[in-house]
Each structure stands twice: as structure tokens, then as C-alpha cells.
């Protein structure tokens, strides 16, 4: 069966990926993973493509065992893996708890690696992987130090594995959005009221651009003007200047 696997599918970008993939009508089934099972069930009732629901946390080793058994038994034709689950906290390292920092590294870095290792054996020529990184991965960011570092890891991983998979014609792309206004991330990260909403895209626009970029073979997707400006700034402006502009613009 032509299958997609989406983590963090209960809200935000993950939910929007499921909706747009279902609208395309090219898949037989979408496997959706998130802690809030009830949200996944609501999503299943609103889309045409059948969803296989996994109401579990990505820090639960039992989830990977279950997925491994199911994949071995069913041999799904995985056309797309979307590593969307992630979290961040807008705070300084000395104020962030060790538990939160380590947990963030596990979810943002270890979980995507585990999912890629699980899915790659069941991916054929023309399949794809979208790793949801962030413009925060393009440069060191004070107040988002650990989060930005995890996204830099994911960006580097995506580019390297994309090169490794060229012989198999499996495309790996890092999605590096700016802030997204209609997701839960801004509130959960503690960034509400601390950033400007100028130039912020919504989830629908971000996902549409990501899927277009994947089809066009992009290695890094930068949806919206603010993401592109950030990438440009990191290439040509001194880091200290970028930090000052960011503070002045509240970005």
C-alpha cells in the first residue's frame, strides 16, 4: 500500500500535511503519530484517506518496536516520511531545566533519526522525506540556543542523507520555516508577545510550499519572505549584526 508516515500529526504543520496529502489522493493510507489520540481521531473523521492512528509519544521505545513489527509484517510502500514532531522553549540555557533541554534533544534529533532508520528499508525509488527543521537552524540563536542547535542538527542530517540516498533516488529535504502563526508552537515556546507577526505565514501556506519544493527536488525549503531573508542574512551579514537586527525587529 502506498503509505505516508507523519509524526506530530495532531495539530499545526503535521495536521496540515495530512490534510493536503489526503486532498492529493495519491496515498492508500497515512500513518499518523502523536500523543493526543483524540486529536488524531478527529483528524481521521475529516479527511478522505484512511489514517492508521498511533497515539503515543516519540520518546516511548515501545512505539518504535510496534512500528518495526508492523512494517516487517505488512511491507508498506512508504512514499513519504514527514518528521514534524518537535518542540522548543524561548529561554536562556541557564534558565532552562536540564530535563527540558535533554528531552528537546531527544524529540528534535533522536526521534527523526529513529523514524528514518525504520522507514528507509520500505522506501522505493521516488520516495521522499521531509524533516521539519527551522530557520533557527541556520544560525546560533540566543534565547533559543538548544532549540536552534537541534534544528541545525536536523538540517545537516537532511542534507547529508539526501546525498547518501541519491543512488536510490530517495529525496530528503529540510523544511526551514520562520514562525508560523496558526500553530501551537509560539505559545508553547513561550514566545507569544515577544516576536513580531510581520511576514508570518500560516500552516496551509507553509505546507503547500514544502510539498511543492519537495516535488521540485529542493534540498532546503524556505517558505515565505522572512525565511528567505534570514537565510540571506546568515550568508552575508556578520553574526553580531544579525543578532542586533533580530532583537530590534523582535524576530
Active site (catalytic) residues? 147, 151
Beta bridge mates, 175: 132, 221
B/e letters for 23-45, b = 16+ CB within 10 Å, e = fewer, are eeeebebbbbbbbeeebbeebbe
Rounded to whole angstroms, the Cα distance separating 136 from 221 reads 13
Rounded to whole angstroms, the Cα distance separating 164 from 187 reads 37
Residue whose entry in the numeric block shows the C-alpha cell 522553549: 89
Helices (H) and strands (E) in the chain, counts: 10, 7
* Rounded CA Rg of the chain: 18
What DSSP element (H or E) covers 8?
none
Phi, psi of 129 (to 5 degrees): -130, 130
Nearest to 12, CA basis, from 204, 147, 178: 204
Amino acid at each position: 500500500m502506498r503509505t505516508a508516515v507523519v509524526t506530530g500529526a495532531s495539530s499545526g504543520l503535521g495536521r496540515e500535511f495530512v490534510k493536503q496529502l489526503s486532498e492529493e489522493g495519491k496515498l492508500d493510507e497515512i500513518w499518523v503519530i502523536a500523543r493526543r489520540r483524540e486529536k488524531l481521531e478527529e483528524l481521521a473523521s475529516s479527511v478522505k484517506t484512511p489514517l492508521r492512528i498511533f497515539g503515543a509519544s516519540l520518546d516511548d521505545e515501545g512505539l518504535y518496536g510496534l512500528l518495526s513489527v508492523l512494517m516487517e509484517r505488512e511491507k508498506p510502500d512508504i512514499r513519504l516520511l514527514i518528521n514534524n514532531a518537535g518542540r522548543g522553549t524561548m529561554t536562556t540555557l541557564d534558565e532552562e531545566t536540564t530535563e527540558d533541554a535533554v528531552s528537546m534533544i531527544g524529540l528534535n534529533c533522536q526521534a527523526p533519526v529513529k523514524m528514518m532508520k525504520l522507514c528507509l528499508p520500505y522506501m522505493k525509488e521516488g520516495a521522499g522525506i521531509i524533516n521539519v527543521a527551522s530557520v533557527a537552524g541556520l544560525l546560533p540563536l540566543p534565547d533559543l540556543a538548544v532549540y536552534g542547535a537541534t534544528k541545525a542538527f536536523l538540517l545537516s542530517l537532511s542534507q547529508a542523507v539526501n546525498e547518501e540516498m541519491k543512488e536510490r533516488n530517495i529525496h530528503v529535504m529540510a523544511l526551514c520555516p520562520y514562525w508560523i502563526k496558526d500553530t501551537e508552537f509560539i505559545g508553547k515556546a513561550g514566545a507569544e508577545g515577544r516576536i513580531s507577526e510581520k511576514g508570518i505565514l500560516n500552516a496551509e501556506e507553509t505546507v503547500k510550499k514544502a510539498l511543492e519544493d519537495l516535488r521540485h527536488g529542493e534540498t532546503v525549503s524556505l517558505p515565505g519572505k522572512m525565511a528567505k531573508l534570514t537565510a540571506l542574512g546568515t550568508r552575508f551579514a556578520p553574526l553580531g549584526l544579525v543578532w542586533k537586527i533580530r532583537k530590534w525587529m523582535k524576530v
